[in-house]
Amino acid sequence: MIRAVLATLAGSALAVTLLQPTSPAAGDEPLPYQDPTQPTDVRVADLLGRMTLAEKIGQMTQAERVDIDADPSLITENRLGSVLSGGGSVPADNTPEGWADMVDRYQEAALATPLGIPLLYGVDSVHGHSNLLGATVFPHNIGLGATRDPALVEEIAHITAMETRATGPQWAFAPCVCVARDDRWGRTYESFGETPRLVISMETAIDGLQGKPGQLDRPDRVLASAKHFAGDGLTAWDTGEGDYTVDQGISQVSREEFEKLALSPYVPAVKEHHVGSIMPSFSSVDWTEDGLGNPVKMHASEELITGWLKGEQEFEGFVISDWRAIRQIPGTYAEKVEASVNAGVDMFMEPIQAPNNPTGWDEFIPTLTQLVEDGDVSMARIDDAVSRILTAKFELGLFENPMTDRTHLGKVGSKAHHQVARRAAAQSQVLLRNKQGTLPLKAKQDVYVAGSNADNIGNQAGGWTLTWQGGSTNVIPGTTILDGIEKAANGDVVFSEKATKQVPRKSVGVVVVGETPYAEGFGDVGGPQWAYDPGDNGVPRPEQTMELSDADTKAVEKVCARTVSCTVLVVSGRPMVIPPALLRQTDALVASWLPGSEGAGVADVLYGRRPFTGKLPVTWPRTVDQEPINVGDADYDPLYPYGFGLRTR
């Protein structure tokens, strides 16, 4: 369709002479782009021909809500085409109604432009509409990969789309179709698993978000965004220059390996699931023989974005840059913009958010304008980008219904949605050890519960929950694992986080250990901290290690030594190292991942209300030194192999 739009323009006077922006007077026939009976390509071509360069570049520009909230007229004045909420960027009234009112306020500013082009609002609905307090929060992707249930993943994505669109945003920056190959990467939990086959099977998430072709304009669907194109899960831990980091690093692999592990998930995403947008990765790729040549940032890779994605795969959606990602491209700012636009990036996420970032979209707009005027970026490239963006807006039905359709507002965080989250939490649990049939537990037994993650819903929800990095003090509606145990057990339940209370005679022990929340950058194991600290009240976040804390280790030792049986649950975004001595003390071991808002789902499998059916989506190492370790490696010797999972019942 994009080719048809551009061909229409090329064959008409619109290609050389821009029409003046006009709107029909009262009683006049609608212009072609305003007529919903016209084919989308006709509407796009008509609207594109009426746009000035400023209006076109405005459509290619995305600001953050913080940049324009105090003065939405900035949307009107700059003809901005899109706004986003980054992690933790929420309205003062963080309720479903507050979100809908906020987005509509911005939409009114967009509709006040001469051509009345509606705004596209994006948000990180990566495990539910999790910026919103009250939204249903589902397990992160690594847990969903453990379910091996594509239908469940589609259902979850559909609920996410419904809750997202009912509150205003029409676009989700999800799903992540990365293949995580090194668990030291802080974004491992955003991956469905370590094999392309597993990741591809879970791309039903795209269908859940977007629906079938032609359903994007429905009030329960949103535009999806497959990310991060491509190779973010393949980045090297040590580049050879002492750069010990994984996030935003360099993929030092052969072309053959890159195609297999990085590119292959995007083929069905485009051709079978018809994903509407794709987000490039912060990472770079280096295909030189020694891996120390000239890494190319993905946001500047014309070969992969224009050549492979838009050319070979015939991707007709649009490409959206990641958060200020073009600023990592070498050169002056003008050179960065030129490289990324000509590489094939269509829309640019350029937040300002002063004082940390003195410039953003306000610098991007004049820079791209000058590049076009100087001939460094062609009008054909601009028209291609804008055609793709406008096509998405027409297909979303925004020209006919730009304001928030609140049909499903009352379903946000509903009991029915939480029941799906509970089922997903249960299916995501992976039973790794079950000595002498320890699990399921008997309901009439007394239970002693300990561990840092037993009664902490912020920890079990993980990153990208209310705030970008998540937080142990972030509280959302739902149940903790302790809540679930207390409801499932008919015997007495004693809780002591650090196992300091006396253990009753003949009680069974459940110790819930694991990680505290983190997201990109700060989740990298042993890597350097970023230049700034997002910790609450200036308190630095603990360095990630993939090893249990001293407090959790002591809790396991105490409880396992004093109870009839000892079950250890690991709540984390990736596997954690279980020392041999600790494992010997443990009767049952469960990988609980990040189960989201419904800890009761974890209790369901502990007590046999649901069977354990989950399988490892990634390899579980014996030590951190084994990383990266993946199925198919030579000398593969994990603690538990990829795909492992005991069953009950």
Active site residues: 322, 520
428 CB-contact burial (10 Å; exposed 0-12 / middle 13-18 / buried 19+): buried
Residues 563, 493: Cα–Cα separation, whole Å: 13
Residues, the chain: 649
User: Are 363 and 57 in contact, with CB atoms under 8 Å apart?
Assistant: no
User: Are 615 and 644 in contact, with CB atoms under 8 Å apart?
Assistant: yes
Distances (CA, A) of 502 to 484, 498, 499, 549, 559: 22, 11, 8, 22, 10
Residues 209, 225: Cα–Cα separation, whole Å: 10
Residue 319's DSSP bridge partners are 278
User: Are 602 and 167 in contact, with CB atoms under 8 Å apart?
Assistant: no
- Closest Cα to residue 277, out of 48, 62, 47, 129? 62
Peptide bond into 418 cis (omega under 30): no
Which DSSP category does 253 fall into? -
Residue 640's DSSP bridge partners are 620
User: Are 176 and 227 in contact, with CB atoms under 8 Å apart?
Assistant: yes
Reading the block at residue 410, the tokens are 């009352």
Helix (H, G, I), strand (E, B) or coil at 59: helix
User: Are 60 and 379 in contact, with CB atoms under 8 Å apart?
Assistant: no
Residues 306, 314: Cα–Cα separation, whole Å: 10
Residue 571's DSSP bridge partners are 514
User: Are 61 and 350 in contact, with CB atoms under 8 Å apart?
Assistant: yes
| Strand order across the 120-123 sheet | 171-172, 120-123, 82-85, 61-64, 348-349
User: Are 297 and 230 in contact, with CB atoms under 8 Å apart?
Assistant: no
Residues 350, 353: Cα–Cα separation, whole Å: 10
Tell me whether strands 318-319 and 250-251 are parallel, antiparallel or unpaired. Answer: unpaired
The type of residue at 254 is: S
> What is the C-alpha radius of gyration for the chain, rounded to an integer number of angstroms?
25
The percent helix, strand, coil of the chain (3-state, each to 5) is: 35, 10, 50
Sign of the CA dihedral running 141, 142, 143, 144: positive
In this structure, what are the phi and psi dihedrals at residue 121, rounded to the nearest 5 degrees? Answer: -110, 125
User: Are 518 and 470 in contact, with CB atoms under 8 Å apart?
Assistant: yes
Helix (H, G, I), strand (E, B) or coil at 494: strand
User: Are 518 and 467 in contact, with CB atoms under 8 Å apart?
Assistant: no
331 CB-contact burial (10 Å; exposed 0-12 / middle 13-18 / buried 19+): exposed
